[in-house]
Chains A and B, each alone.
Chain A
């Protein structure tokens, strides 16, 4: 195991795993307390359209996917403000159309056949230096925004009507949370893939929520659990030569199961 650490791609994978875990811990907490899990799922799948576009037009994948995901987030914000009762229909639509667009564009791309599976289930062992810079910058931005606007984001998440009464621009912060979710989903796709992204954004967060008294505690604990699961998953994946994304999710799910079991036993 230890000799594996000397390989650069393993080092990159570990750093990427940690950066994405911390980002998804913070943003996952916001997604869960704002009941936005389905929205994040919609954004993740729509982002595949962006991956297709990036491959087709030949620009960086992260850039294409991020732009596409942010546009999806803005559309979702618009629908939330104006057609709330039809939201599930619209998100389902974006979800499917984004995926279809991605598949078609990748098919149309001449010569180069991207492995669809690597985007669906993650390809953490193929993380480049540029990817790491991108992830690090995103994490920095997220932490800064959280420090600066923590009380507003807390107020909007806990009681948006009251926040409006206190003169907080609820729509702005709601949209901001969606945009940050979109960007986080895109980097998480690299680690666990877009199908498993939702599990990474919810399982550690759910455990953390039960153990926290405050939102920032929940964010920190989510980040810590997420990192632990990711590192364990990677070790598992390396030892038994199985897919990394799926290992991370299964380790998370197993931990959640144990957590619930222990909780249950303690109550009896």
Chain B
């Protein structure tokens, strides 16, 4: 059964069409990569799946219901995690924002919440930094903290918007290895520009530029050398 099902979805800001007639289904434990040009509608599609943007035309179902009902089942790592680095906040506090507001104590945080957040931090290998100020971390470390925040609510789908755009090469590799590990238990959806990296890990690639083109990655393609231009050509060829 598909855990995300999108049918004939269109979306426009004012009169400008962003997405047109999108059809997509995501299965449990998929590793889906979304690529495409800037302004092509990738982030908009994520926001529709998350229920931040309202559905205008067509339908989106996550876990068989409206996206707004699945706040805790979907973890989200937003695009730019380098903003607000002056903000006086500790790593552990950022992670605890991931808790959904149930079972909360009258004041402050419950012990289980702190334990759970520490667990998420150790999942991404950042437990030593729990009491550091978020602004003192490197871009890659901060990104892992944001992943821990998303993992805090034990999601079944993890959605990342350009997770490696402002990180050095080593940091990027670590992030993708972490995602590969997480993919053993949960579904991963990544918006990315790093096509060559994505190919190593993703089992499905879609190209979005207003319209969507899908491409399954077979084992053979994974192991053989595959260049970015070829992939683009393949995706473009499908769309016509």
What residues make up the interface of A, taking CB atoms closer than 8 Å to B?
33, 147-148, 150-151, 154-155, 157-159, 161-168, 209, 212-215, 217-218
| A151 CB contacts on chain B under 8 angstroms | 96-97, 104, 108-109
Q: Is B108 touching A158 in the complex (CB atoms < 8 A)?
A: no
Q: Is B100 touching A166 in the complex (CB atoms < 8 A)?
A: yes
Q: Whole-angstrom distance between the alpha carbons of A147 and B107 in the complex?
A: 6
Among B11-19, B83-91, B118-126, B210-218, the stretch that binds chain A is B83-91
Shortest CB-to-CB span from A158 to chain B, Å, is 6
| A165 CB contacts on chain B under 8 angstroms | 50, 52, 71, 76
| A161 CB contacts on chain B under 8 angstroms | 52, 78
Q: Is A213 touching B88 in the complex (CB atoms < 8 A)?
A: yes
Which residues of chain B in 75-105 are interfacial with respect to chain A, using CB atoms and an 8 Å cutoff? 76, 78, 84, 86-90, 93-94, 96-101, 104
Shortest CB-to-CB span from A214 to chain B, Å, is 6
Q: Is B106 touching A158 in the complex (CB atoms < 8 A)?
A: no
Shortest CB-to-CB span from A265 to chain B, Å, is 21
| A164 CB contacts on chain B under 8 angstroms | 52
| B149 CB contacts on chain A under 8 angstroms | 162
Interface residue? B131 (CB, 8 A): yes
| A155 CB contacts on chain B under 8 angstroms | 97
Q: Whole-angstrom distance between the alpha carbons of A154 and B88 in the complex?
A: 10
From the candidates B71, B108, B109, B133, name the one contacting A167 in the complex (CB within 8 A). B71
Q: 17 other contacts beyond A162-B149, A209-B88, A213-B89, with CB at 8 A cut-off?
A: A147-B107, A151-B96, A154-B97, A158-B89, A161-B52, A161-B78, A162-B76, A162-B78, A165-B52, A165-B71, A166-B71, A167-B100, A168-B101, A213-B90, A214-B93, A215-B87, A218-B88
Q: Is B108 touching A150 in the complex (CB atoms < 8 A)?
A: yes
From the candidates A148, A159, A212, name the one contacting B106 in the complex (CB within 8 A). A148
Shortest CB-to-CB span from B231 to chain A, Å, is 31
Q: Is A217 touching B88 in the complex (CB atoms < 8 A)?
A: yes
Chain A residue with the shortest CB-CB distance to B76: A165
Q: Is B100 touching A158 in the complex (CB atoms < 8 A)?
A: no
| B104 CB contacts on chain A under 8 angstroms | 151
| A154 CB contacts on chain B under 8 angstroms | 89, 93, 97
Which residues of chain B in 120-171 are interfacial with respect to chain A, using CB atoms and an 8 Å cutoff? 131-133, 149
Q: Is A213 touching B133 in the complex (CB atoms < 8 A)?
A: yes
What residues make up the interface of B, taking CB atoms closer than 8 Å to A?
50, 52, 71, 76, 78, 84, 86-90, 93-94, 96-101, 104, 106-109, 131-133, 149
Of residues B89, B90, B94, B96, which shows the largest number of chain A Cβ atoms within 10 Å of its Cβ?
Answer: B89
Q: Is B71 touching A209 in the complex (CB atoms < 8 A)?
A: no
Of residues B76, B97, B149, which shows the largest number of chain A Cβ atoms within 10 Å of its Cβ?
Answer: B97
Shortest CB-to-CB span from B35 to chain A, Å, is 23
| B89 CB contacts on chain A under 8 angstroms | 154, 158, 213-215
From the candidates A33, A167, A168, A217, name the one contacting B87 in the complex (CB within 8 A). A33
From the candidates B50, B52, B71, B94, name the one contacting A158 in the complex (CB within 8 A). B94
Shortest CB-to-CB span from A153 to chain B, Å, is 12
Chain B residue with the shortest CB-CB distance to A166: B100
Shortest CB-to-CB span from B139 to chain A, Å, is 16
| B106 CB contacts on chain A under 8 angstroms | 148
Shortest CB-to-CB span from B137 to chain A, Å, is 12
| B133 CB contacts on chain A under 8 angstroms | 213
Shortest CB-to-CB span from B189 to chain A, Å, is 15
Q: Is B71 touching A215 in the complex (CB atoms < 8 A)?
A: no
Known: A213-B88, A218-B88. A166 touches B52 (CB 8 A): no
Q: Is B88 touching A166 in the complex (CB atoms < 8 A)?
A: no
Shortest CB-to-CB span from A228 to chain B, Å, is 20
| A33 CB contacts on chain B under 8 angstroms | 87-88
Chain A residue with the shortest CB-CB distance to B105: A151
> Can you offer 19 A-B residue contacts whose CB atoms are under 8 A?
A33-B88, A148-B106, A148-B107, A158-B84, A158-B87, A161-B78, A164-B52, A165-B50, A166-B71, A166-B99, A166-B100, A168-B101, A209-B88, A212-B88, A213-B132, A214-B88, A214-B90, A215-B88, A217-B88
Q: Whole-angstrom distance between the alpha carbons of A217 and B98 in the complex?
A: 22
Chain A residue with the shortest CB-CB distance to B101: A167
Known: A158-B89, A209-B88. A166 touches B97 (CB 8 A): yes
| A215 CB contacts on chain B under 8 angstroms | 87-89
Known: A148-B107, A213-B133. A162 touches B87 (CB 8 A): no
Of residues A158, A159, A165, which shows the largest number of chain B Cβ atoms within 10 Å of its Cβ?
Answer: A165
Of residues B88, B96, B101, B106, which shows the largest number of chain A Cβ atoms within 10 Å of its Cβ?
Answer: B88
Q: Is A209 touching B86 in the complex (CB atoms < 8 A)?
A: yes
Q: Whole-angstrom distance between the alpha carbons of A163 and B84 in the complex?
A: 15
